[in-house]
A and B are shown apart, each in its own frame.
Chain A
């Protein structure tokens, strides 16, 4: 247990607990975009900013999703400086991804500018990297990642081409905070639209339902060393 001061109150953090998790447990809301409990935090979006100091040292701003509680830490989640910075971050993101409902919701919550002072870009992604982290850390496919750097940074398959290691699992679709990775599916194929990855589906030998992309079956078998006929029928029919 680690004792810290959070918004003027002494609270106990668990060993290794981040300030974001602690605050959430304490009922304090901190906005986040690039955070997901299933993957390692990286502190990319800078929405979850808080102000902190160590042993009465200078106050600094940092991301609460990456900040681990330590004895002697004093944290403010609600100071003027925190709000000012979060609003500026939002303004920059909204200029990048105009008209996104999630960003607009956050802007309304925090009383930020709804009309950024910059020329609008036509992007749909904030480069939070959640999709890539889920694909690597949870799915294990490592199909998508960052390409280029700086203002040219982009996310997608290798060399921004269709990712040949993508198994079409849809995990990235699910975690994307901008909801910009769409999945389309019909009886024959499943497509992850943003990555331009289209995969033929396998149909259940019992009920005929297209339950899984063929390629996913192949990869699962390879990863888990499963028997050859394991994926012939869908989960429902297997019950």
Chain B
């Protein structure tokens, strides 16, 4: 790659690559993201390349970043037709080349079909993608993240060239304030304001950090952005560094994300070669370089002061704020810290303008960046929905649209499963019941419901979910992940965990609910950092919306979701046809019975794994709980 020595020269390089990109060229994009690789995309890409070389075809095979629909991987998209194939295997390759590529014939078994067996031809027609608005993810699926020329051919580094060619740092800060961009990492603090504070803070040296710790278990958008388009994040950081006056940057990535680290490392090298990173960037005298730090598996290290401690080589224990990192951050110097997705929005705001950005989303940010939520947000839609994966949607979209249109509704709804709640905001978010499904999703609305945007985790729960167990899960998670430094969080979580673990075993007491609320109050008010002050959310929000489930556990040992192992019994009903499938699958041989005879389930052998329940095709296994156990089993 030739080195650009002025912003103008960079623009010329970009234009050359833009021109070289032929939108009508025949290309095969195979998703090479972590999800698809886990389903065999690695060898698939190799095989595609080999087959095409053997046949001497003039077709480029691109290994792209995550398309978000990993569940259906490996994904293949043929360009320019846009034909979308899912769950593609190596043995499908000859057929794809012979039929689809050569003759335009579709291969039905590789196409996506929804629950109602409707078939969709192109990627963007698939319901999962149709209602999405892909900005941050726009290039994922089109470019090879290890190829700088691909990035350049899609306007890559154009924003940086504009910024360094035409603007003063203060103008960029103003622009980002006006755009209303708010942090995508949790708090939703206006990014421009944070930049302004860092810019105005006194310090001989300033730092910039990209938070890619992504501690929310169940969210993977930061991973997919870094893996699938590392230059986009870098470009955002370089622009940010120019705006705040930082000379050194760090990307703090979880060690569990090896591909993201590899792609980012490569991108850093390429960016230095291009002259957009390092000393005297584009000959403007502005210097900025980036280092990668690997996290060590601690959720609390996503918290900014803990993250900073960790970069400094200390244990990730948060400290009180103020002073905020913008004033006193890494090595005591002014430090701006933003999330991966936040950084990735920056180049688009520069390229397409503030008016464009503010046209997407809710509220009015013309007076204050707190006035609304602008742009898109990527959610990690998981749990009991038909389509799971990463979805990028405009702020303000109703929850119902995400769960039922994009997500395709509740899984196994034909077997009677219904929606119960959606949990947003990660481990310290809250559970939202169906009464609020038409609520718009943005920073402020989610907070009003007792939940939060967090990093964008969205877990859909069906009627077979126990809300007490959900609260217990999150509390136990946070109990281990808390740093343990301050009393309310450490001791509060310990006590909440004791109570909830008792409760799911049917040993809850009536007084427990008031104690849980008291604990929630002191944790919220008095904890040192936001891990502790939000840690009670899962408990408080389920107490608010699903209190009866707690009361049932305490009063009659009834688990409404039929999940708490100690409170349920599997039971074979008269509907049993004697098909023997459950008996064959039971890992503990608890089920016996002759072919075509009513089967019998030995309670003392049953470990309540639920395998029989899932296996039975006749709905003949019921899950008893509460008083039913005595009534039906006489226990």
Residues of A in contact with B (beta carbons under 8 Å apart): 42-46, 49, 61-63, 66-68, 70, 81, 84-85, 88-89, 92-93, 95-96, 117-119, 126-127, 129, 146, 148-153
Contact = CB atoms under 8 A, between A and B. Distances in A.
B526 to A, nearest CB: 5
B15 interface: no
21 contacts: A43-B320, A43-B528, A44-B528, A49-B525, A63-B320, A66-B320, A68-B323, A88-B526, A92-B487, A93-B487, A127-B485, A149-B298, A149-B315, A149-B481, A149-B484, A150-B493, A151-B490, A153-B483, A153-B484, A153-B485, A153-B490
Nearest to B495: A118
Contacts of A61: 525-526
A66 B488 CA distance: 16
Contacts of B482: 149-151
A116 to B, nearest CB: 9
Contact of A150 (B480, B498, B521, B527): B480
A92 B488 contact: yes
A151 B492 CA distance: 10
Contacts of A96: 491
B485 A88 contact: no
B313 interface: no
B37 interface: no
A86 B490 CA distance: 15
Contacts of B527: 46
A150 B481 CA distance: 6
Given A62-B320, A68-B322, A150-B482, A46 B526 contact: yes
Contacts of B484: 127, 146, 148-153
The prevalent SS among residues of B at the interface is helix
Contact of B490 (A49, A84, A88, A150): A150
B359 to A, nearest CB: 30
A39 to B, nearest CB: 14
B522 interface: yes
A126 B491 CA distance: 10
B201 to A, nearest CB: 14
Contacts of A62: 320
Interface in B385-443: none
Contacts of A67: 320, 322
B38 to A, nearest CB: 30
A49 B526 CA distance: 7
Given A93-B491, A149-B480, 4 more contacts: A46-B526, A49-B526, A85-B522, A149-B483
Nearest 10 CB-CB pairings of A with B: A153-B484, A88-B522, A92-B491, A66-B320, A61-B525, A150-B482, A43-B320, A85-B526, A151-B494, A150-B484
Contacts of B184: none
Interface of B: 298, 300, 315, 317, 319-320, 322-323, 479-488, 490-495, 497-498, 511, 515, 518-519, 521-522, 525-528
Given A62-B320, A149-B298, A45 B521 contact: no
Contacts of A43: 319-320, 486, 528
Most buried by A among B320, B485, B519: B485
A46 B486 contact: yes
A42 B494 contact: no
Contacts, number: 104
A117 B513 CA distance: 12
A87 to B, nearest CB: 9
A127 B485 CA distance: 7
A96 B494 CA distance: 10
B256 to A, nearest CB: 18
B490 A42 contact: no
A42 B518 CA distance: 25
Nearest to B499: A118
A146 B511 CA distance: 35
Contact of A44 (B487, B498, B511, B521): B487
Nearest to B482: A150
Given A46-B528, A62-B320, A89 B488 contact: yes
A66 B498 CA distance: 31
A42 B483 CA distance: 13
Contact of A81 (B479, B481, B498, B525): B525
A146 B483 CA distance: 10
A148 B317 CA distance: 11
B617 to A, nearest CB: 44
A88 B486 contact: no
A68 B519 CA distance: 28
A89 B498 contact: no
A95 B488 CA distance: 12
A147 B494 CA distance: 17
A151 B318 CA distance: 16
A11 to B, nearest CB: 19
A61 B490 CA distance: 17
A117 B518 CA distance: 11
A197 to B, nearest CB: 22
A44 B495 contact: no
Contact of A89 (B320, B483, B526): B526
B508 to A, nearest CB: 14
Nearest to A51: B525
A43 B528 CA distance: 7
Contacts of A68: 322-323
Contact of A151 (B317, B479, B488): B479
B315 A150 contact: no
A61 to B, nearest CB: 4
A95 B525 contact: no
A150 B298 CA distance: 11
Nearest to A152: B484
Contacts of B515: 117
Contacts of B493: 150-151
A49 B523 CA distance: 13
Given A62-B320, A63-B528, A117-B515, A45 B491 contact: no
Nearest to B523: A88
A114 B134 CA distance: 58
Nearest to B298: A149
B318 to A, nearest CB: 10
A215 B494 CA distance: 40
A159 to B, nearest CB: 14
Contacts of B323: 68
Contacts of A153: 483-485, 490
Nearest to B481: A150
Nearest to A92: B491
A150 B483 contact: yes
A92 B485 CA distance: 14
B495 A92 contact: yes
B70 to A, nearest CB: 31
B487 to A, nearest CB: 5
Contacts of B480: 149-152
A189 to B, nearest CB: 32
A126 B488 CA distance: 12
A70 B317 CA distance: 25
Contacts of A85: 521-522, 525-526
Contact of A119 (B315, B486, B497, B498): B498
A92 B483 CA distance: 17
Contact of B319 (A42, A89, A146): A42
Contacts of B483: 149-150, 153
A209 to B, nearest CB: 41
B485 A95 contact: no
B491 A44 contact: no
